[in-house]
Amino acid sequence: MDSARIYETCQNRLLDLAATLDGEQLGTVVPACPDWTVRQVYAHLAGLCADVVHGDVTPPAGDEVTARQVADREGHGLEAVLAEWTRTTPALLELLTARRRRRHSLPALDVWHHENDVRGALGLPAQTEDADQLADFPLGGLAGGWSAQLPPVRVVATDTGQEWALGEGAVLTLRGTAFELARAVTGRRSLAQILAMDWSGGDAASAAPFLPTLPAPAADLVV
C-alpha cells in the first residue's frame, strides 16, 4: 500500500473540508464512531499522528489509547488541533515511507476510513480514491490467515477485477466494489449489510461474521 501518499492525500482533503465546517457540523455525531463528533475525529487523527511520531504508540491503537487522544485535546479549538496535526505529519510520512511492516501502514488505513466516516456523518458522498489498495490491505491479511475451520470464500472486486482467496477451493463467492469491500471488512458495515451483499454459491451466514477485521457496527452505515 502506498501509505505515505494515501495519508497525505486524505489529510489534505480533510483539512480542506474542515475549513468549510461550522460549529453545528463539527458537533455532529459520527455514526461509524458513535462516541465521537466530527471535531473529535479530527482530534483523534491529530493525536494518533503525534503518538506514532513520538514513539508513544505503535499501531494498532486500542480504544483506551484513542479515547485518551481525544480527551487530551478536548479543550483545544479546531484550529489548534489542525495545526498540531499539520506540524507532526511530515515526520509521520517519513516513517510510513521508511517502515514496511504491515502495521506501519495502519495510520493510512485509519485516516482513509475516518475521512469517509466524517463524510458519511455530514451527508457527503463517499471518497473512493485508493479503494483498491484499501480493500487489498485487509483482504490480503484475511487471505493469509483464514482459518481452515471456516468455509473458504472467493472475494471479487467488481470494479477493479481484484480477487482474494480466503481458504482453498472456495465455492462461496462475495462480490462488491472495492470501496464496499474495504468498508465491509474494516468494521464499517453491519452484519446485516454484509449478509445483504452479493453472495453466491453457498451460505453467507457461515462466513460473513468472520470478515470484519474490526467490530461490525450494530446499525447500518450509509457511506
Q: What is the CATH number of the domain that holds 166?
A: 3.30.1050
Residue-wise pLDDT for 116-156, tens only, equals 999 999 999 999 999 999 999 999 999 999 999 999 999 99
* Confidence (pLDDT) at 135: 98
In a domain, 98, yes or no: yes
CA terminus-to-terminus distance, the chain = 22
Answer yes or no: is 186 within a domain: yes
Average pLDDT, the chain: 95
| pLDDT per residue as tens digits for the range 4-63 | 999 999 999 999 999 999 999 999 999 999 889 999 999 999 999 999 999 877 778 888
Indicate whether 218 belongs to any domain.
no
Distance, in Å, from the CA atom of 150 to the CA atom of 91, rounded to the nearest integer, reads 41
Task: Estimate to the nearest angstrom the gap between the alpha carbon of 79 and the chain centroid.
Answer: 24
Q: Would you say residue 90 has pLDDT above 90?
A: yes
Instruction: Tell me what pLDDT residue 57 has.
Output: 74
Last residue of a domain, one of 86, 102, 121: 121
pLDDT over 70, % of the chain: 100
Residues 66 and 116 in one domain: yes
Whether residue 147 sits in one domain with residue 98: no
Give buried/exposed letters for 63-85 (b at 16+ CB in 10 A, else e).
Answer: eebbbbbbeebeeeebeebbebb
Nearest Cα to Cα of residue 146 among 135, 154, 136: 154
Number of folded domains that form the chain: 2
Domain boundary (121, 147, 182) is at 121
Asked whether residue 108 is assigned to any structural domain, the reply reads: yes
Same structural domain, 109 and 139: no
Query: For position 32, what pLDDT does the model report?
Result: 96
pLDDT beyond 80 at 165: yes
The answer to the question of residue 18 being in a domain is yes
| 62 within a domain of the structure (yes/no) | yes
Q: Where among 92, 121, 150 does a domain terminate?
A: 121
Average pLDDT over residues 64-82: 93
Does 24 share its domain with 95?
A: yes
Displacement of CA 109 from its chain's centroid (Å): 5
List the domain range (segments joined by +) for residue 137. Answer: 131-210
